[in-house]
Structure 1
Amino acid sequence: MGAESAPRNKFFRRPSTLAERNFIADALRTETVGGALLLIAAVVAVVWANTGWSDAYQDLRDVRFGPAALHLDLSLSTWAADGLLAIFFFVAGIELKRELVVGDLRNPAQAILPVVAAGCGMLTPALFYFAVNTGGGSPDGWAIPTATDIAFALAVLAVIGTSLPSALRSFLLTLAVVDDLGAILIIAIFFTDSVNFLALAGAFALLAVFWLLQRRRVRGWWFYVPLALVIWALMHESGVHATVAGVAMGLLMRVVPDRGERTSPAEHVEHLVRPVSAGLAVPIFALLSAGVAISGPVLGDVFTHRPTLGVLLGLIAGKVVGIFVGTWLVARFTRAQLSDDLAWPDVFGMSMLAGIGFTVSLLISELAFTDDPVLTEQAKAAVLVGSVLSAAAATVVLRIRNNTYARLCAEENRDDDGDGIPDVYRTDADRLRRDKLA
């Protein structure tokens, strides 16, 4: 035999070194990478559902597995919506808790603007939807355009806003976190047909145990992971959407480090879980939910069918009107003030960006029209079209603002005489003295 052949290259091998694994995890913690994976998964789903292999896509979504004795014999798409998205909402819950305890929401004067903006940004799209569907159509889809996709919106902002003020990202993050809490409340209140109070009581009892373990400074994943799984299963059995368990546990995490702790438990756990959420949970959900058959008639229905038109206008118009006008009214008639680093055109562009309702809107589409699969698919198509249009419009506005800030930054750093001191800091006397010396 000849010389020993070289080992074959493995495309999906496990990273071989700790540094390599850490590099991948750190990449998944950035908004651009997470948003890119989400977009790729959505594109793959749409392409797959519109090819000759569309039946295979549907068969994959319908694959069932899980212990039937525990009422967990679920389809793959349901596991993604109820299970994997619980991880996404767990991270969102931690972000909300941090904002409430140590972030912008801690100070009522700073919190009022993004909180009111989030509230108006959920109410106004629902009103747009009801206005379109008054006297016909279906009122059941009012909640679909109320949500903002944190991952997608922040990813777009990170790509186009290299020179935008950091206060804009903070405003958007706070708004989106409050928005997610609102979406969870909507799901829990309006999309729970029947409640198993015994299972719900068990879930709340174990959530109390979760809180007590945090309060007693108990550490160790072997306590929390089994407990979290049982809480999730009980919440699912109760009839309340299982993602509520994720956000509840996130809100119970301790976000302030004790003396001697480098990081709080919430920060440590989020650091570990965020790559799973961004790199696995959300992309898989998008892959299994965004596969909508797109054709001329379907796109036509988006702009002419009342429920889908309501979703579309809610995302691309309702979000802008609600967030921008709500923020302006609060700043105009109360003591609340917009950050000195922001201008109103920045808020307008961010309001457009909030019209990206992708992940949570797709989830609510499945919950709103459970008895009408055709309308569910049409609503998903409207979510996709509305999110794309919102992202495109926001990109144009924020790109113009980004270029404006870039020019201002360049002007502030001009140093025509090369003395290491920007010209903007030179007084007229300095310039006259310099000219005499020259």
Structure 2
Amino acid sequence: MTQPAPGTSRTVLGRGSYPEYLRISDLLRKETVGGILLLIAAVAALVWANSPAADSYFAIRDFKIGYEPWHLDLSIGKWASDGLLAIFFFLTGLELKREFVAGDLRSPSRAIVPIAAAFGGVAIPALIYVVINLSAGPEALRGWAIPTATDIAFAVAVLAVISSHLPSALRIFILTLAVVDDLIAIAIIAFFYTEEVHVPFLLWMLLPLGLFAFLTQKYTRFFARNHAAAWIVLLPLGVITWALMHSSGVHATVAGVLLGFTVPVLRRAKDGGPDAGPGLAEQLEHRFRPLSTGFAVPVFAFFSAGVALGGWEGFRSAVTDSVALGIILGLFLGKPIGILLTTWVLTKATKAHLDPSLKWVDVLGVAILAGVGFTVSLLVNDLSFVLGSQHHDHAKVAVLTGSLVSALVAAGVLRARNRHYRRIEAEEQVDANHDGIPDVYEEGNRA
């Protein structure tokens, strides 16, 4: 079907603004490194867990340290999932707030598509999992949320390796979708995987959280200029908030998102206004992202990805289990069906059109890539099943398998599209006005 001429009707997945393109490009480069480290950590864990020294791997993972009265007597593996991942979700909170306050998603017309696609990409995988495991019993059904997550770092790493010429709109789409996806996952964890809430701890948690919010809002300029003060003052408040949240029974990573939401994105007028430079949220993001991508997430992956496969027979037995089938099909089929179907229905319902610079096969490739659900899927697996149980091990194998298959198929689709866009990329970089901004990003020149 012939696409409408630019400007004749509303489009979805448009090019976006040039500043947003620059910011997303920079973020993608950083996440690429994290994806590579994540892959190395996962492979190392699998090799160790299936080697003659496997007992030492599980002994280290299950070794407990901590303070029992605050429910902090945790294994090293739990410290990685409950503690280190809070840093990852703190960045998720910062990124999501920045998108809606200062990014292109502050426009409802731009925000609606990735948000709706994210919800579709959560609902369909969960539905597929439930249908497959209806007759498997209530224990198996606890894993319904495992195939609903998208891993930002892995997805971005695949994009960086095989699709450097894809339109920026697609990259922004997958990144925003994954961030919203993580927020949905946190909501699922908070509401569906919290078995008992200790209200006193939850109420006490509001004190350091409120103080953190007050200080970041009131003394934005001070913390922006004094890097050491942010570590000395804000970090302890964050740790106390996390500890009290953990003690309340609500998963501690929720504290990371709440802390991220409290940080101001834009500079106030008395601090020089938005044009005076990056806000505190962006500065904290720059400081904490290396810690998250370079240490926190890879360490979590190392202690979560390790599973004894038991050779080919063990692997075949694992992937034919209904729990594993639900996860693999949910990631590989449910994710792209949910994302693609939701995006298509939304365009038809609003009488909009896909941006003329894109094709539906591009959206399909990105939707398949969203089936790479590693970090948060493994976290939800830890919350769904008892550590070391058959369901837990089979689900872990399924997450790795479904993510790998999704990555390989998406790489094939996007690599073909990448060759197509490489031929037209030179045209998009034309700057006839010599103002440092490609003409395609200038108002009235959107292709």
TM-score range, shorter chain: 0.7 to 0.9
* Paired AA for residue 217 in structure 1: Y
The change in CA–CA distance for 1:29 and 1:73 in structure 2 (over 3 A counts) is farther
**Matched residue, 2:280:** 265
**Matched residue, 1:159:** 161
In structure 1, runs of 5+ residues without a counterpart are: 1-25, 415-438
Q: 1:197 aligns with which of 180, 196, 199?
A: 199
Does structure 2 conserve the Cα–Cα contact (< 8 Å) formed by 1:29 and 1:274? no
**Cα distance, 1:362 vs structure 2:** 0.4
The change in CA–CA distance for 1:410 and 1:170 in structure 2 (over 3 A counts) is closer
Equivalent-residue separation in structure 2 for 1:181 and 1:298 (angstroms): 34
Q: 1:362 aligns with which of 372, 378, 387?
A: 378
**Matched residue, 2:19:** none
* Paired AA for residue 190 in structure 2: A
Tell whether 2:255 aligns with 1:239: no
**Matched residue, 1:57:** 57
**Cα distance, 1:217 vs structure 2:** 2.1
Tell whether 2:47 aligns with 1:47: yes
The change in CA–CA distance for 1:148 and 1:28 in structure 2 (over 3 A counts) is closer
Equivalent-residue separation in structure 1 for 2:298 and 2:381 (angstroms): 17
**Cα distance, 1:50 vs structure 2:** 0.5
Does structure 2 conserve the Cα–Cα contact (< 8 Å) formed by 1:27 and 1:33? no
Computed over aligned residues only, the root mean square deviation of the Cα atoms, in angstroms, reads 2.0
**Matched residue, 1:11:** none
Does structure 1 conserve the Cα–Cα contact (< 8 Å) formed by 2:119 and 2:181? yes
Equivalent-residue separation in structure 1 for 2:410 and 2:330 (angstroms): 15
* Paired AA for residue 274 in structure 1: R
Equivalent-residue separation in structure 1 for 2:112 and 2:429 (angstroms): 35
Equivalent-residue separation in structure 2 for 1:399 and 1:224 (angstroms): 43
Q: 1:346 aligns with which of 362, 367, 373?
A: 362
* Paired AA for residue 394 in structure 1: A
Does structure 2 conserve the Cα–Cα contact (< 8 Å) formed by 1:28 and 1:278? no
**Cα distance, 1:413 vs structure 2:** 9.6
SS in structure 1 at match of 2:183? helix
**Matched residue, 2:260:** 250
Equivalent-residue separation in structure 1 for 2:404 and 2:132 (angstroms): 21
Q: 1:292 aligns with which of 304, 307, 311?
A: 307
**Cα distance, 1:120 vs structure 2:** 0.3
Answer with 255-264 or 356-365: which moved more.
Answer: 255-264
**TM-score normalized by the length of structure 1:** 0.85
Count of matched residue positions in the alignment of Structure 1 and Structure 2: 389
The change in CA–CA distance for 1:413 and 1:119 in structure 2 (over 3 A counts) is closer
SS in structure 2 at match of 1:408? helix
Equivalent-residue separation in structure 2 for 1:54 and 1:331 (angstroms): 51
Equivalent-residue separation in structure 1 for 2:341 and 2:27 (angstroms): 36
SS in structure 1 at match of 2:378? helix
Answer with 286-295 or 393-402: which moved more.
Answer: 286-295
Equivalent-residue separation in structure 2 for 1:312 and 1:126 (angstroms): 11
Answer with 202-211 or 178-187: which moved more.
Answer: 202-211
Does structure 2 conserve the Cα–Cα contact (< 8 Å) formed by 1:188 and 1:244? yes
**Cα distance, 1:68 vs structure 2:** 3.0
Does structure 1 conserve the Cα–Cα contact (< 8 Å) formed by 2:152 and 2:179? yes
SS in structure 2 at match of 1:163? coil
Bigger-Rg structure (1/2): 1
The change in CA–CA distance for 1:100 and 1:385 in structure 2 (over 3 A counts) is same
Tell whether 2:421 aligns with 1:405: yes
Equivalent-residue separation in structure 2 for 1:375 and 1:121 (angstroms): 23
**Matched residue, 1:93:** 93
* Paired AA for residue 140 in structure 1: R
Does structure 2 conserve the Cα–Cα contact (< 8 Å) formed by 1:129 and 1:314? yes
**TM-score normalized by the length of structure 2:** 0.83
**Cα distance, 1:70 vs structure 2:** 3.0
Does structure 1 conserve the Cα–Cα contact (< 8 Å) formed by 2:331 and 2:402? yes
Answer with 219-228 or 356-365: which moved more.
Answer: 219-228
Equivalent-residue separation in structure 1 for 2:277 and 2:424 (angstroms): 38
* Paired AA for residue 276 in structure 1: L
Answer with 369-378 or 60-69: which moved more.
Answer: 369-378
Equivalent-residue separation in structure 2 for 1:345 and 1:410 (angstroms): 22
**Matched residue, 2:135:** 135
Tell whether 2:398 aligns with 1:396: no
The change in CA–CA distance for 1:278 and 1:96 in structure 2 (over 3 A counts) is same
In structure 2, runs of 5+ residues without a counterpart are: 1-25, 224-228, 431-447
Equivalent-residue separation in structure 1 for 2:172 and 2:425 (angstroms): 20
* Paired AA for residue 256 in structure 1: L
**Cα distance, 1:340 vs structure 2:** 4.2
Equivalent-residue separation in structure 2 for 1:240 and 1:298 (angstroms): 35
Equivalent-residue separation in structure 2 for 1:72 and 1:33 (angstroms): 31
**Cα distance, 1:204 vs structure 2:** 2.3
SS in structure 2 at match of 1:257? coil
SS in structure 2 at match of 1:388? helix
Does structure 2 conserve the Cα–Cα contact (< 8 Å) formed by 1:316 and 1:389? yes
Q: Percent identity?
A: 52
Q: Deviations over 1:48-73 (max 9, x none)?
A: 00010100000010121123343312
**Matched residue, 2:233:** 223
**Cα distance, 1:160 vs structure 2:** 1.1
**Cα distance, 1:335 vs structure 2:** 4.6
Answer with 65-74 or 164-173: which moved more.
Answer: 65-74
* Paired AA for residue 314 in structure 1: G
**Cα distance, 1:100 vs structure 2:** 1.2
SS in structure 2 at match of 1:141? coil
**Cα distance, 1:305 vs structure 2:** 1.1
**Cα distance, 1:262 vs structure 2:** 2.2
Equivalent-residue separation in structure 2 for 1:286 and 1:184 (angstroms): 18
Does structure 2 conserve the Cα–Cα contact (< 8 Å) formed by 1:29 and 1:278? no
The change in CA–CA distance for 1:201 and 1:136 in structure 2 (over 3 A counts) is same
**Matched residue, 2:11:** none
Q: 1:168 aligns with which of 166, 170, 179?
A: 170
The change in CA–CA distance for 1:387 and 1:371 in structure 2 (over 3 A counts) is closer
Equivalent-residue separation in structure 2 for 1:117 and 1:191 (angstroms): 24
Equivalent-residue separation in structure 2 for 1:395 and 1:227 (angstroms): 42
SS in structure 2 at match of 1:65? strand
Equivalent-residue separation in structure 1 for 2:89 and 2:428 (angstroms): 42
The change in CA–CA distance for 1:271 and 1:348 in structure 2 (over 3 A counts) is same
Q: Deviations over 1:278-307 (max 9, x none)?
A: 000000000001001122233223432111
Does structure 1 conserve the Cα–Cα contact (< 8 Å) formed by 2:86 and 2:256? yes
SS in structure 2 at match of 1:300? helix
Does structure 2 conserve the Cα–Cα contact (< 8 Å) formed by 1:31 and 1:158? no
**Matched residue, 1:430:** none
